Amino acid sequence: MTAVVWAGPGIELSIDSAGREATIRGQVGVRTVPELRAHLQRLLAAGEGDLVLHLRDAEVADATGLGVLVGLHHRARRQNRRLVIAEASERLERLMRITRLHLVLARVDTMSIGGPVPQVSGRLPQMPPMPPPPR
């Protein structure tokens, strides 16, 4: 059952499965990020396992919108969860490739909780060891 939990000017957040799956529609940018971030953080705290975020109808308008996704990814990891981006728009896919976030954020083309789990891409890249401090 889908329920709209927040709607602002040009944006809507709906919950498809409490704490597990949500959909964002509209423009994710500097004007909508503060309230959207707060709702997404509450959603993350309310569940366990993967948090699937459907973004087919979302437009990430600026770096602030990407920052929300990165921040939510880091918060999910601290809570032993994973943020999974589902149905990213072509523009968002391009932005993630340009910024190399496609290497960090897990993504699927389509996904519904309870259905078959499609192949998920995205893993943290291996970082080289830190050099010793200068003497």
Does the pLDDT at position 12 exceed 70?
yes
The pLDDT assigned to 132 comes to 64
Could you confirm whether domain 3-108 is CATH 3.30.750.24? yes
**Cα radius of gyration rounded to whole Å, the chain:** 15
Does the pLDDT at position 117 exceed 90?
no
CB 64 within 8 A of CB 35: no
The single residue listed with the structure tokens 């699937």 is 52
CA distance 42 to 73: 14
In which band, very low, low, confident or very high, does the pLDDT at 83 lie, cut at 50, 70 and 90?
very high
Ramachandran class of 101: left when φ > 0, alpha when ψ lies in -120 to 50, beta otherwise: alpha
Kindly state the tokens that stand for 83: 């943020």
Least confident residue range of 4-18, 86-100, 105-119 = 105-119
- What percent of the chain has a predicted confidence (pLDDT) above 90? 74
Length of the chain: 135
pTM of the model: 0.79
Which residues on adjacent β-strands are paired with residue 58?
26
The pLDDT assigned to 124 comes to 42
CA 15, 16, 22, 27 torsion-angle sign: negative
